[in-house]
Amino acid sequence: MRKVRLGKTGEQIPVLGQGTMGIKAGKDKEYYEKWKDSLKKGIELGMTHIDTAELYNRGTSEKVIGEAIKEYDRDDIFITSKLFPKHFGYKSMIKACSKSLERLDIKYLDLYLVHFPSFVFSKIKKHMRVMEQLLNEGKIRYIGVSNYSIDQFKKGQENLKKAEIVANQLHANIVRQKHIHNSLPYYKKEGVILTAYSPLSHRGYTNLKGDLRQKLDHVAKLHNASIQQIALAWLINHENVIAIPKAFQIQHIEANAAAADIDLSEEEIKQFYNK
Ligand SMILES: NC(=O)c1ccc[n+]([C@@H]2O[C@H](COP(=O)([O-])OP(=O)(O)OC[C@H]3O[C@@H](n4cnc5c(N)ncnc54)[C@H](OP(=O)(O)O)[C@@H]3O)[C@@H](O)[C@H]2O)c1
């Protein structure tokens, strides 16, 4: 699995990780065992970055991941979780991180993101203070944000004393290209990773039609790949972009891992631009 540098750190992160928003609550044992098998398959294929959040089915995703990673060396797995900004108080934010760690049954998060920006800049300041404290206490290794505009990102960075924000997790895929065109140039310049969430437009392009479908079919044929693999390859063939597809089915996990090896030409990448 190809890796890229995480921000300006010495850390290398796989270009494709695993999303886990779809892990449902209240299901039977068999369902969770199947999820754990899927996550482990992904890890074995190099997708060692696992993305979760306290928000995902009220901690269910974090719990299932915690069980799935038990048999691995902690250093070999990269866990991202997210602070949901429903916590307004300083103490309740610190507690939210502890709860995530408890559910995951780990001592530290590799990357902790503020899930959504606050629309009042002073809240961003407060979030960053909490993030830096968690970093200094060793509860998290790196600080990131999600769904932040460039202005909000700058405000966040200004409010950190020493640390740097290493990544912004944004909605980006071959259909929704706004952040690739408008935000990526800034993050590239700043050496920040853009993590593309919902890289398969949430539903996996099962009913995609029209011009995009035709282009994807054409390029997929040339690379002996599926359209979903081309859609993922398109994202991660952009410098500073990593992606976190969610896949429950083992054949999807295998296909996604293989997509990391697809090299698209400049021309192939550009033909999909919709701007
Ligand atoms: N920061 C945020 O605000 C935010 C928001 C949304 C999502 N996220 C993160 O991003 C992750 C991914 O986004 P998402 O869950 O919206 O969905 P997604 O990854 O865009 O798409 C998931 C769908 O694609 C299917 N799929 C996966 N690989 C495939 C393949 N190779 N071929 C065909 N179909 C394939 C999956 O099927 P199966 O599951 O049946 O295999 C599932 O139906 C989330 O799980 C979450 O971790 C973050």
Q: What is the DSSP string of 177-203?
A: -HHHHHTHHHHHHHT-EEEEESTTTTT
Pairwise CA distance, residues 30 & 96, whole Å: 29
Alpha-carbon dihedral angle through residues 212, 218, 247, 26, given to the nearest 10 degrees = 50
Token output for 150: 């460039």
Among candidate residues 15, 94, 23, 84, the one with its CA nearest the CA of residue 48: 15
What pLDDT, on the 0 to 100 scale, is given for residue 119?
66
CA of 222 to the centre of ligand 1 (A): 25
**Catalytic residue check, 108:** no
Residue whose token pair is 């853009």: 194
Residue 167: which of 190, 136, 138 has the closest Cα? 190
Q: Which residue's C-alpha comes closest to atom 4 of ligand 1?
A: 197
Structure tokens that stand for 114 in this block: 């503020």
Question: What separation in Å is there between the alpha carbon of 133 and the centre of ligand 1?
Answer: 32
Which residues lie closer than 8 Å to 141 by C-beta, 6 or more apart?
11, 108, 109, 110, 111, 135
Q: How far apart are CA 79 and CA 139, in angstroms?
A: 12
Q: How far is the CA of 188 from the centre of ligand 1 (A)?
A: 24
Say if residues 42 and 255 touch (Cβ distance below 8 Å). Answer: no
Is the CB of 34 inside a 6 Å radius of any atom of ligand 1?
no
Domain 3-207+240-250 grouped into CATH 1.10.760.10: no
Helices marked H in the chain? 29-44, 60-68, 90-104, 121-136, 150-158, 178-182, 184-190, 210-222, 227-236, 250-259, 266-270
Contact by Cβ (8 Å): 66, 74:
no
Alpha carbons 231 and 223: distance in angstroms, whole number = 12
Q: Which of 56, 142, 148, 205 is catalytic?
A: 56
* Single pTM value for the model: 0.97
**Cβ(250) – ligand 1 distance below 6 Å:** no
pLDDT at position 37: 98
Partnered with residue 109 across adjacent β-strands are: 140
Numbers of helices and strands, H then E, in the chain:
11, 10
**Closest to 241 measured CA to CA, from 202, 208, 275, 192:** 192
- Name the burial class of residue 109, with classes exposed (0-12), middle (13-18) and buried (19+) by CB atoms within 10 angstroms of its CB: buried
pLDDT score for 118: 76
Does residue 256's CB lie within 6 angstroms of at least one atom of ligand 1?
Answer: yes
Domain boundaries, given as residue ranges, for the chain:
3-207+240-250
Query: What string of pLDDT tens digits covers the 275 residues of the chain?
Result: 999 999 999 999 999 999 999 899 999 999 999 999 999 999 999 999 999 999 999 899 999 999 999 999 999 999 999 998 777 688 999 999 999 999 999 999 999 999 998 766 568 999 999 999 999 999 999 999 999 999 999 999 999 999 999 999 999 999 999 999 999 999 999 999 999 999 999 888 988 999 999 999 999 999 999 999 999 999 999 999 999 999 999 999 999 999 999 999 999 999 999 87
The three-class DSSP label of residue 25 is coil
pLDDT score at 121: 59
CA of 91 to the centre of ligand 1 (A): 32
Cβ–ligand 1 distance for 228 under 6 Å, the answer yes
